[in-house]
Amino acid sequence: MLLFSGVRCSSAPAEELGRPLGVEVYSEALRAELAAAWESRPPAYKPRTHHLLNDGSPRFTNRLFLESSPYLLQHAHNPVDWHPWGDEAFALANKLKRPVLLSVGYSTCHWCHVMEEESFEDEEIARYLNENYIAIKVDREERPDVDAVYMAAVQAISGRGGWPMTVWLTPDREPYYGGTYFPPRDGDRGVGAGFLTLLKKLDEVYKTRGDEVAQNAAVLIEQIRASLAPPPGGDLPGVDALNAAKDLYVSRFDAVNGGLQGAPKFPSSLPIRFLLRRWRATGDDNLLQIASLTAEKMARGGMYDQVGGGFHRYSTDAEWLVPHFEKMLYDNALLVGAYLELYQATGLEEFARTARETLRWIEREMTSPEGGFYSAADADSLNLEGEREEGFFFTWTPEEIRKSLGEDAAEVEELYGVSEQGNFEGRTILFRRSEMGASEAAREKLYSMRAERPPPLRDDKVLAAWNGLAISAHALASFVLDEPQYLESANRAADFILANMRREGRLLRSHRNGQARHEAYLDDYAFLIAGLIDLYEVSGNPKRMRQAIELDQVLASNYEDADGGGFFLTGPSNETLLAREKPTYDGAVPTGNSVQALNLLRLYEFTTDESYRERAEKLFGAFSQVLKQSPSALSEMLTALELQLDETRQILIVTPGDRDEAEPFVRALAARFEPNRILAVVSEGEIERHIGLVPLLEGKLALGGKTTAYVCKQRVCKLPATDVETFLDQL
- In tens, the pLDDT along 448-491 reads 999 999 999 999 999 999 999 999 999 999 999 999 999 999 99
The domain locations on the chain are 2-227, 380-455, 649-730
Res 233: pLDDT: 83
Average pLDDT over residues 78-82: 96
Res 6: pLDDT: 33
592-to-14, 396, 569, 597, 599 alpha-carbon distances in Å? 48, 40, 8, 8, 10
Res 526: pLDDT: 98
pLDDT in tens, 347-406: 999 999 999 999 999 999 999 999 999 999 998 888 888 888 899 999 999 999 999 999
Short-list 577, 587, 602, 443, CA closest to 519: 577
Tell me if residue 102 falls in helix, strand or coil.
strand
Percent of the residues in the chain that have a pLDDT greater than 90, as a whole number: 87
Superfamily covering domain 2-227:
Glutaredoxin (3.40.30.10)
- Helix H or strand E encompassing 152: helix 144-158
DSSP 301: S
Q: Which positions ≥6 away from 167 have C-beta within 8 Å?
A: 101, 102, 104, 150, 153, 154, 175, 177, 178
Res 22: pLDDT: 64
- Report whether pLDDT(249) > 60: yes
Prediction pTM value: 0.95
Q: How confident is the model at residue 236 (pLDDT cuts 50, 70, 90)?
A: confident
Res 438: pLDDT: 85
Res 118: pLDDT: 97
pLDDT in tens, 621-673: 999 999 999 999 999 999 999 999 998 999 999 999 998 999 999 999 999 99
Backbone angles phi, psi at 658, to 5 degrees: -65, 150
Res 14: pLDDT: 33
- Report whether pLDDT(131) > 60: yes
Percent of the residues in the chain that have a pLDDT greater than 70, as a whole number: 97
- Helix H or strand E encompassing 125: helix 123-132
From the number of C-beta atoms within 10 Å of its C-beta (0-12, 13-18, 19+), residue 662 rates as buried
Tell me which of 607 and 382 has the higher pLDDT: 607
| For the chain, the helix, strand and coil percentages under 3-state DSSP, each to the nearest 5 | 50, 15, 35
Number of H helices, E strands in the chain: 27, 24
Least confident of 31-40, 334-343, 660-669: 31-40
Average pLDDT over residues 245-251: 95
Strand partners, 721: 709
Rounded CA separation 544/547 (Å): 5
